A and B are shown apart, each in its own frame.
Chain A
Amino acid sequence: MKMTVRRQLATIAPAVLALALAGVATQPAFAFKLGMAVGGEAASNWQKPQGDVAHAIATKMGWDYVELSNNLDPAVATKNADIFIQDKVDAVIQFNGRAEVNPVLAAKYAAAHIPVVTYDIAQKGFYFVGIDNLAAGIAGGEALGKIAKDKWNCDVDLVLSSEGAGAGIVNEWRTGGMRTGLQHICPDIPKDKYVSFEGSGQVSVAAPAARDVLAAHPDAKKILVVGLNDAGVLGAVQAAEQLGRADDIIAWGQDGAFITGDNVDPHLAGSVLYFLEGYAVYAIKDVIGPIAEGKAPPMKDDAGDPASRVKPCPVSAEQAKKIPGIEERVKQLLAAPAGTTEYDLFCPKS
């Protein structure tokens, strides 16, 4: 056995040495190099396009582009930062769903003097590009409240909140924000009519949880649904349909994932589109582009005073009928002149 090991190592060692010496040396990079860490959340349909759009725009600008996935894992996000730093990228865009590790990332990137754009979740020292999730939540809640006021004069039996604790602070902003917005329009809905359940932002998790909540509130007839995203609220709507309680249920979503196309559930009254897949336009136009030209913009790392503000686009189901699905949107976005945002292209002007 020992002989075999020695023999094995003896044959491989020279090969290793040879390759090391031959060394596929990397060319010195003169082109501007952009690193992008996508969120890696498998259950959302905008994660992959978010990277694809950034890639396309970077290529158009003549830059090098490197993409990694944070895999919704804080240890992986940390490792990705190390890799980008090692790779000597000139700038980084990240979507980090595990915000708890952002301080560590900020320390690393600051030490390496690499500017970072972060989407939607603010971190001191990172350029903030994105929507104000809290404002988007409130906008959605107010839109839903207006419908409840018109139809039922705010006489609501139950307000379901489809939470997604895994999204951390973003869940607080969006779902909590929707409740706040609803309270702006319908302040007299008593507190005990607000019930939360954990939907994890997925239909397959939200539906069973909502079924149980609806069963525990058998007398609720007029029901409103808010939540972390379209999938989360759809789960509750589906639960109501399964229990035969869908006659008077109205839901308003977030992120617009399921408000477009042919298969929109009739009880989804609307959603708030962020056009997440097109964020790169904002990031590159307002931050990365100037950095590449040597004119780095002043640091703006707060959601209230962002480096680039993405405007949320609340849409009713009716309005959403005219908005194309995500694949078509990406195509049109990339064909449009540089700097055009999806908000410009698709948000109904009304």
Chain B
Amino acid sequence: MTTGTSSLIVSGLDRHRLRDIATGSVTSIAVALVIVVVVGLSAIGPDFLSASNITIIGSFVAIPMLVAAFAGFALLAGVVDLSIGSMLGLSSNVCAWLMVAGWPLWAAIPVALVACLICGAINATAVVIFGADTIAATLGMLVALRGITFIISGSVGMIPAFDPNFFAFINLTAGPLPVIFLISLALIALAAIIVMRTRIGRHVQAVGGDDRAASRAGISVTGVRFVALLLSALGAGIGGVLYVGQLGSASNYTGTGLEFQVYAAMMIGGYSILRGGVGNPLGAALGLLVVAGTSNIIDVKAISPYLTNAIIGLLLLAAVLLDRLRGGDAFE
């Protein structure tokens, strides 16, 4: 196969796919968000979209959104990284530990990021070089890193590390929108542009969609997936550091359940954790907003907090069902 033919095939395939993504699941999740806004407005009134409420939702969603922007590449490439929560915990505890030991922020943060990148490299080696099943391998990393985080956070289980400048930065707002939310949104937009418009993005989708075809077309499946897992780790690392700023501390709990929060939202937004090649960072952002918006309605209306989990579970089912009915891939 000449490179000319293969690139024609790749671009032919992906033009169709681009149209699908832009008009498919992203649309339905956008509609879902509109529904959430409507429900919020009718249940709570115009206060639902008040400046302070938007700040609340924005602050809560900002860091998971950033993590999702990075982790989305791994999902697209067909290698789901379940360890992002534990990596985030590791990163925040390493950063907090160094801060307490007297390191300045600008020195502590890179160390935390490098720690995550090393774990990401281990994941990548196992999954890409050795061919380990990605769910199993990253699950193992999830467990191992949680243990290490417990060890770092010590017998009290937490490391208080309140830095007033960092805290002020995290809580900066531009109007009603927190600055970190805008930064995360910008990263999502950047990721979306990469996915939809650049050759790299097309390669990632090709690798996730059909790695054999991608390999025949000359794309380095190993390279793409390795980098994708490293990116996923980097995102978790950055998220962990930001949490130290937002929460003024790190603990053995930091990051627990984050993988569920992020991936459930991403599945609602059109990604699949079992199949690569589908999904759009915009869908991830919208998915996170749908879940956060729904939680906010539950919170502000003070509906029983014990029902929150049940409602999120129902939401997940509803979203995938909706996606299926709209014509998304069915499980047989």
Contacts and interface: CB of A to CB of B under 8 A. Distances in A.
B253 A20 contact: no
Given A101-B247, A171-B157, A5 B23 contact: yes
Contact of B257 (A23, A73, A107, A168): A73
Contacts of B331: none
Contacts of A74: 247, 249, 251, 253-254
Contact of B249 (A40, A66, A73, A103): A103
B284 to A, nearest CB: 18
Contacts of A172: 155-156
A165 interface: yes
Given A20-B41, A68-B302, A98 B155 contact: no
Interface in A158-181: 165-169, 171-172
A174 to B, nearest CB: 13
Interface residues of A, number: 49
A29 to B, nearest CB: 12
B65 to A, nearest CB: 13
Interface stretch (B3-11, B42-50, B183-191): B42-50
B53 A86 contact: yes
Contacts of B302: 66-68
A44 B102 CA distance: 38
Contacts of B49: 20
B249 A168 contact: no
B56 A165 contact: no
B162 A19 contact: no
A285 interface: no
Contacts of A107: 167
Nearest to B298: A68
A86 to B, nearest CB: 4
B305 A166 contact: no
Contacts of A2: 23
Given A24-B44, A166-B157, A75 B38 contact: no
Nearest to B301: A66
Contacts of A71: 305, 308
Given A104-B247, A166-B157, A83 B299 contact: yes
Nearest to A84: B299
Interface stretch (A8-16, A130-138, A182-190, A311-319): A8-16
A73 B302 CA distance: 18
A136 B49 CA distance: 47
Interface string A147-167: 000000000000000000111
Contacts of A20: 41, 46, 49
Interface residues of B, number: 54
Interface in A66-116: 66-69, 71-75, 78-80, 82-83, 85-87, 98-101, 103-104, 107
Given A16-B37, A68-B305, A87-B300, A101 B253 contact: no
Contacts of B160: 100, 103
A15 B38 contact: yes
A253 B49 CA distance: 48
Contacts of A4: 27
Given A38-B305, A101-B249, A83 B56 contact: yes
A1 B25 CA distance: 12
Contact of A166 (B55, B159, B252): B252
Contacts of B55: 82
A25 to B, nearest CB: 5
Contacts of A16: 34, 37-38, 41
Interface in B17-56: 19, 23-24, 27, 30-31, 34, 37-38, 41-47, 49-50, 52-53, 55-56
B134 interface: no
B251 A24 contact: no
A75 B47 CA distance: 22
B20 to A, nearest CB: 9
A48 interface: yes
Nearest to B150: A165
Q: Is the interface of A mostly helix, strand, loop or mixed?
A: helix
Contacts of A72: 253
Nearest to B299: A83
Contacts of A40: 305
B299 A68 contact: yes
A67 B299 CA distance: 8
A26 interface: yes
A47 B48 CA distance: 29
B138 interface: no
Given A25-B45, A167-B157, A168-B251, A86 B56 contact: yes
B157 to A, nearest CB: 4
Given A73-B257, A74-B247, A165 B299 contact: no
Interface in A53-74: 66-69, 71-74
A165 B45 contact: no
B56 A69 contact: no
Given A26-B47, A104-B248, A19 B42 contact: yes
B291 interface: no
Contacts of A104: 162, 167, 246-249
Interface string B132-162: 0000000000000000001001011111101
Interface of A: 1-2, 4-5, 8-9, 12, 15-16, 19-20, 23-26, 38, 40, 48, 66-69, 71-75, 78-80, 82-83, 85-87, 98-101, 103-104, 107, 165-169, 171-172
Given A9-B34, A100-B249, A166-B252, 10 more contacts: A23-B45, A26-B45, A73-B253, A78-B246, A82-B56, A100-B158, A100-B247, A107-B167, A169-B156, A172-B155
Interface of B: 19, 23-24, 27, 30-31, 34, 37-38, 41-47, 49-50, 52-53, 55-56, 59-60, 150, 153, 155-160, 162, 167, 243, 246-254, 256-257, 296, 299-300, 302, 304-306, 308
5 contacts: A2-B23, A16-B37, A23-B41, A71-B308, A172-B156
